[in-house]
Amino acid sequence: MKSAVLIFAAIVMIGFLPFTIESINDFRARDYTEPHIITTTDSDEVDVTLSQPLFSGATANVALVSNITADAPIPHAYVSGTKVLTIAGLALNEVRNLSVVYKIDALTDYFGAGVAARIWPAVIMLGIISLIAAAVYTGTRRAE
């Protein structure tokens, strides 16, 4: 019976793990908005230099809004060393106001909080593994 309860607890923790990790990332990051005036010529891609480093270097953390209806801007690539974001899907030969909304590290001034927030997913995984190990141990030990 104890093993079943421990396995159930591990399953519940595994179920909540994606939401927990997403919450930790929301705690670690905040939105930052930059306006850019961009002109395209013969290419539908343009490079934009960001003023802050992109959180985790992932283009999934970028949202783009353009005042040109023919645009379908998507973040194509990011170079963390130079903070250059390549944006694709822009209409040719247009001047546009492009708003770049991206996540930046909110804990740069709080080093300890940043480290602790990065460690929490590992602590949770260790807890899940410990619950499973405890369930196996309780289910297989000899009755004394």
Alpha helix (H) residue ranges in 41-93: none
pTM for the complete prediction? 0.73
**pLDDT above 70 (res 143):** no
User: Structural domain of residue 15, as residue ranges?
Assistant: 2-140
Q: State the Cα angle at 109 between 29 and 127, rounded to 5°.
A: 60
Query: For 31-57, what is the mean pLDDT?
Result: 91
Per-residue confidence (pLDDT) for residue 139, from 0 to 100: 83
Classify burial at 128, counting beta carbons within 10 Å of its beta carbon; exposed 0-12, middle 13-18, buried 19 or more. middle
Structural domain count of the chain: 1
Grade residue 110 by pLDDT with cuts at 50, 70 and 90.
confident
Average pLDDT score over residue span 115-137: 91
Q: For 12-33, write each residue's pLDDT tens digit.
A: 999 999 999 999 988 999 999 9
Q: pLDDT tens, 51-96?
A: 999 998 999 999 999 998 888 999 999 999 999 999 999 989 889 9
